[in-house]
Amino acid sequence: MANCIRCGRKLPSLNFGKKICQWCVQHEAAQRGEDGDDAKQIVLPAPWVRRGESSITLTQVLLGANVAVFLALALAGGSIADFSGQVLVHFGANFGPYTLSGEWWRLLTYMFLHGGLMHIAFNMWCLWELGALCESLYGRWTFGAIYLITGVAGGVASIGWNPLVLSVGASGAIFGLAGALVASFYLGEFSLPKVAIQGTLRSLVVFIGFNVLFGSFFPGIDNACHGGGLVSGVILGALIAKVAPEHDKPFKRVAVLFFVLLIVLTSAVAVKLWRAPMLRFERSFSGHENTLLIADRKSF
């Protein structure tokens, strides 16, 4: 089966000698200004997605991991509507006195914990939508790295801004995905015509703006975590777009990811030096039962 000479996508079996796929034909027409603004871009699989790989996506794996942890929380807490602070911290919630005293692993585990049924339902809805788009555009391993790095960045921002509250939820990583997509689409990493991406870009901006405003007016929303994830995601998306857009040059991608990860880890050390002297590292949660910050209840 022949491949498109422009993007590498598989051409149909009966292509009658054609060497360019439908997507590239319309793309080039849009670049020449021959398509109207209301023209719909043909949706085809990303050319770099290997169809021979497992049909299970990383987005599905992450969603399954979140649900599995939620079920474990439900068994331990006896309810799915809301979980106590003791249960959440036992499973790895992000809490300044614990995280900054050496339990840095909480910056990873907190993003797989959720405060209740509605919390995980909204987050998994957003992860399903944004994760699938991000994974298809960046590829599996880059998507996974963005998810984890921005999630950690959100956790660092959370304990920097709110060191004495529990923070749980995947929204820091989800905001990171949104930020990376906005930066990549805006900077044109994927060389898509404007008519093909303007609707998605507009939806992402509205999604971010709505949730930031929602978190500003309602208590119990960890906007610091959202901000940390969003900013780190924008930085990652911009650097990948400008420095490492090619999928066949993984060393550039690794360098970009490592650079941003180094910034996040340095920020964590700075937060420790800033906040640690102000905290008493006590292994007691009396008085902290009602200081749980959860991820934003998002809509997409």
CATH number at residue 113: 1.20.1540.10
**Do 59 and 33 fall into the same domain?**
no
Which pLDDT value is given to residue 169? 92
Domain match, 161 and 220 both: yes
Q: Are residues 192 and 218 in the same domain?
A: yes
Do 15 and 136 lie in one domain? The reply is no
Query: Is residue 250, in this structure, part of any structural domain at all?
Result: yes
Which pLDDT score is estimated for 109? 96
> Is 110 contained in some domain?
yes
User: What strand order describes the sheet that includes 94-95?
Assistant: 94-95, 166-167, 292-293
Q: How far apart are CA 69 and CA 170, in angstroms?
A: 12
Range of the domain at 145: 54-293
Which tens digits make up the pLDDT trace of 206-224?
777 776 676 566 666 778 9
81 domain residue, yes or no:
yes
Active site residues per annotation: 171, 226
Residue numbers in the chain where pLDDT is lower than 70:
1-19, 23, 31, 33-54, 188-201, 211-212, 214-220, 279-300
Domain count, the chain: 2
For residues 123 and 264, state if they share a domain: yes
Together in a domain, 86 and 161? yes
Whether 299 is covered by a domain: the verdict is: no
Please name every residue paired with 292 in a beta bridge, in sequence order, or none if there are none: 166
Whether residue 41 sits in one domain with residue 68: no
pLDDT of residue 297: 33
pTM: 0.75
Residues 186 and 137 in one domain: yes
Backbone angles phi, psi at 101, to 5 degrees: -90, 10
Q: Domain check: are 125 and 32 in the same one?
A: no
Whole-angstrom Cα distance, residue 80 to residue 60?
22
Q: Establish if 37 belongs to a structural domain.
A: yes
